[in-house]
Amino acid sequence: MIITSRNPNWGGVAESLQVEKFQRDESIEFLLTRTGEPDQVAANELAEELGDLPLALEQARAYVERTGGTLSHYLSLFRDRFQELWRQDEPPQSYDQTIATTWSMSIEQLPQAAADLLNFCAFFAPDDISRELIAGAAGKLPQPLASVVSDDLALDGAVAELRSYSMLEVGGDSWSVHRLVQAVVRGRLSDAARDVWAAAAAEVTSEAFPYDSDEVENWPTCSRLLPHASAAADHSEGLGVAAAAAGYMLNQVGLYLQQRAQLFQARAALERAVKINEEAVGSNDPLAAVRLGNLGNVLRGLGDLEGALNHAKRALGIDEEAYAPNHFAVARSLNNVGAALSELKDSEGARGYYQRALNINEVALGPDHPDLAIGLSNMGDTLLTLGEVEGAINHIKRALKIHETAYGPNHLDIATDLNNLGAALRRDGDLAGARESFQRALGISEAALGPDHPTIAIRLNNLGRLLGELGDLKGARDYLERAVDIASKSLGEEHPNTVLIRRNLESLPK
């Protein structure tokens, strides 16, 4: 005897077999075979939207057959008019209800606590919803869910109710809610309730996202929260709620993605953060300067140097208007302007901005602050470009000492100092010292960032050029070839760094 049920709790009566959703290739084959269409792209995208759920795929197939339409047309309707589409849709043959009707009936039978937990989860990404994230959300939630999530026994009861209707799957310390269940849940809510739950999701995720999201030790947490931050921000923006939380969250996401070298995604997140901030508090608020500065740094990484300079100067203007001339926020923006000018080869201009920033931070932060060290390292790199080798070495060594005292031997800022020091020692004729600095910078960066980060390409390029000068042409070629491969894959063939590294490789003697 085979019994089918959405309730998974049959272990005490019979052997249970979980019926999984389709694999993607099965979904595509099902749609193409059942509709007779050849459009694999549309089939793949529709399967993604429907979460590979067999009944949803069959419902889509039935709609296409009934209307004489195409998969791409159904996909467009589903994306733009999901709620209307599913209200009007009919169940496929041999099944008496649509998915939306079936789930709506189940939701109506849920106790209030379980229904509210499902409402809340509908505004996150569908998979890997951390129990810890939900349990820590009590202060942002309405009653009775606030009391439920702070009580393990009550929360277990609500989860058990949702599992009994197959509304939620549990795996270890996390839950999953199918994306179509989420969509149906959101569609059933009143406008006011939708705003409440969307705002709560944005505020909870924003609070959980690490402040130092660009620090390597926080990357595992950021990686896990990233899908939920994206989903919560989307809902927040779409409904116009929790703007401060969404703006902060997108800024932190942008910083994280920038360090992970996902620069286009970082730019998109930071552009949204800037837009939200300007709409919420105006374009001249000091917070706007922070967002603009971060966006400018990403543009600089993408090679849009004029855009980077414009954003940095705009941020500086806001900070100078909002703060005293010797405020550390002004120094932060001065450093960003200096960095953009340095990339634009205006080293003398960069020097002036860097020096102003150093003068401020020496007083505002003190002589041993890590942020001061960043400015010292930047100034050292600029002095080297201007031919002031001794001054460059002195600035960079001081930065290195501050960073090593603050962070220990393996922080990424130390790798930057070592890279700059290697360049200065090379110019000073100390090739052995330069090699040691470059190798240590490469080792720290690879350990922190992995082997394929674009920063590794810069480290390999510098070491490869030095090996060429030392006469080790094979070693130089090996490093530069690897650097070109990394840069071209991560930044693109036309990025200035890729072009420079390739030129260095091609200039090696044959």
Q: Which two tokens stand for residue 369?
A: 């602050």
How many residues are recorded in the chain?
Answer: 510
Cα 222 off chain centre by: 8
User: Looking at the whole model, is its pTM more than 0.85?
Assistant: no
What's the CA gap between 302 and 299, in Å, rounded?
5
- Candidates 426, 369, 421; CA nearest to 395 is 421
**CB neighbourhood size of 402 (10 A):** 23
What's the CA gap between 102 and 209, in Å, rounded?
36
What's the CA gap between 331 and 374, in Å, rounded?
11
Q: Which two tokens stand for residue 169?
A: 């799957």
205 and 124 Cβ atoms separated by less than 8 Å: yes
What's the CA gap between 305 and 344, in Å, rounded?
7
CA angle 314, 317, 319 (to 5 degrees): 110
31 and 47 Cβ atoms separated by less than 8 Å: yes
Domains and CATH numbers, the chain: 24-96 (no CATH), 110-241 (1.10.10)
Ramachandran category for residue 492: left, alpha or beta (phi over 0 → left; psi -120 to 50 → alpha) = left
**CB neighbourhood size of 179 (10 A):** 19
What's the CA gap between 250 and 234, in Å, rounded?
10
What's the CA gap between 478 and 493, in Å, rounded?
19
Question: What string of pLDDT tens digits covers the 510 residues of the chain?
Answer: 777 766 666 555 667 676 677 888 988 988 888 888 888 898 999 888 887 878 778 777 777 777 778 888 888 887 777 666 666 555 555 544 556 666 677 788 889 999 999 999 999 999 999 999 999 899 899 989 999 999 999 999 999 999 887 788 898 889 999 888 898 889 889 999 999 999 999 999 999 999 999 899 999 999 999 999 999 999 999 999 999 999 999 999 999 999 999 999 999 999 999 999 899 888 899 999 999 999 999 999 999 999 999 999 999 999 999 999 999 999 999 999 999 999 999 999 999 999 999 999 999 999 999 999 999 999 999 999 999 999 999 999 999 999 999 999 999 999 999 999 999 999 999 999 999 999 999 999 999 999 999 999 999 999 999 999 999 999 999 999 999 999 999 999 999 999 999 999 999 987
